[in-house]
Amino acid sequence: MRLILTDLPSDKRYHFYPLALCRPIWDLRCGMTSLSDKLIAKTQASDIACFVPPYMAEVYGATSTWPVNDATALAGDDLLVVNARVKASDFSVEPTGPSQIAVDADGECLYARIAKEDLARLNTDSIDALLESAKATLSAAEGEVAVWNYTWDLVLANPGQLTEDFAALGQSGVEGTVEEPKALRGSENEVFVARGALVHPMVVIDAAEGPVYIDEDAEIHPFTRIEGPAYIGKKSILLGAKCREGNSIGPVCRVGGEVEESIIQGYSNKYHDGFLGHAYVGEWVNLGALTTNSDLKNDYSSVEVVLDGRRPIDTGSTKVGSLIGDHTKTSIGTLLNTGAYVGAMVAVTTTGSLLPKYLPSFGWFIKGVVTKGFGKGKLYETAKTAMGRRKLEWTPAMEEMWNEIHKITAPERSEAVKKGRRALAAT
Interatomic CA distance for residues 19 and 302, integer angstroms = 22
Judged by beta carbon, residue 230 or residue 369, the one nearer another protein is: 369
Structural contact between residues 416 and 309, judged by C-beta atoms closer than 8 angstroms: yes
SS3 30: strand
Q: How far is the CB of 340 from another protein (least distance, A)?
A: 22
With respect to another protein, which residue has the nearer C-beta, 302 or 403? Answer: 403
Contact between 61 and another protein per CB under 8 A: no
Site for another protein contains 364 (CB under 8 A) = yes
Task: Determine which residue in the list 348, 366, 386, 387 makes contact with another protein, applying CB under 8 A.
Answer: 366
Name the minimum Å distance from CB 377 to another protein: 6
Give min distance, CB of 332 to another protein, in A: 15
Helix (H, G, I), strand (E, B) or coil at 426: helix
Least distance from another protein to the Cβ atom of residue 349, Å: 7
Minimum CB–partner distance for residue 348 and another protein (Å): 13
Nearer to another protein, 105 or 425 (CB): 425
419 touching another protein, by CB under 8 A: no
Pick 159 or 420: Cβ nearer another protein: 420
Check binding of 68 to another protein (CB under 8 A). no
Nearer to another protein, 143 or 377 (CB): 377
| 126/385 with CB nearer another protein | 385
C-alpha to C-alpha distances, 227 to 51, 60, 274, nearest whole angstrom:
38, 34, 18
Three-state helix/strand/coil letters over 40-55: HHHHCCCEEEEECCHH
Min separation Cβ 363 and another protein, Å? 12
| Contact range with another protein by CB under 8 A, out of 6-14, 120-128, 359-367, 380-388 | 359-367
CB of 330 to another protein, least distance (A): 16
Instruction: Specify the DSSP class assigned to residue 72.
Output: G
Please identify, among the stretches 205-213, 332-340, 390-398, 419-427, the one whose residues bind another protein according to the rule CB under 8 A: 419-427
**Radius of gyration from C-alpha coordinates of the chain:** 22
Go through the chain and tell me how many residues it has.
Answer: 427
Residues 6+ apart with CB under 8 A from 207: 184, 185, 186, 187, 188, 190, 191, 228
Nearer to another protein, 240 or 373 (CB): 373
Nearer to another protein, 175 or 374 (CB): 374
For 198, residues 6+ apart whose C-beta sits below 8 A from its C-beta are: 176, 177, 179, 218, 219, 220
- Which amino acid belongs to residue 364? W
**What's the CA gap between 92 and 43, in Å, rounded?**
9
Question: Closest distance between another protein and the C-beta of residue 376, in Å?
Answer: 8
CA angle 293, 155, 167 (to 5 degrees): 135
Dihedral of alpha carbons 269, 57, 344, 7, sign: negative
Q: N- to C-terminal Cα distance for the chain? A: 64
DSSP state of 175: S
112 beta partners: 81, 101
Q: How far is the CB of 425 from another protein (least distance, A)?
A: 5
User: For residues 247 and 260, is the Cβ–Cβ distance under 8 A?
Assistant: yes
Q: Do 238 and 224 meet the contact criterion of CB atoms below 8 Å apart? A: yes
Which residues within the stretch 367-386 sit at the binding site for another protein (CB under 8 A)? 367, 369, 371-375, 377
Closer residue to another protein, CB minimum distance, 140 or 425: 425
Stretch that binds another protein, among 134-142, 203-211, 314-322, 360-368 (CB under 8 A): 360-368
Contact 88, 35 (CB under 8 A): yes
When the beta carbons of 205 and 369 are compared against another protein, the nearer one is 369
Nearer to another protein, 375 or 388 (CB): 375
145 phi and psi, to 5 degrees?
A: -115, 120
What phi, psi does 59 have (nearest 5°)? -65, -45
Name the minimum Å distance from CB 202 to another protein: 42
**Would you give the binding string for another protein spanning residues 315-354, x where CB under 8 A is met?**
----------------------------------x-----
Least separation in angstroms between residue 58's CB and another protein is: 25
Q: Count the residues of the shown chain that bind another protein, applying the rule CB under 8 A.
A: 17
Helix (H) or strand (E) holding 82: strand 79-83
Interface with another protein (CB under 8 A): 349, 364, 366-367, 369, 371-375, 377, 417, 420-422, 424-425
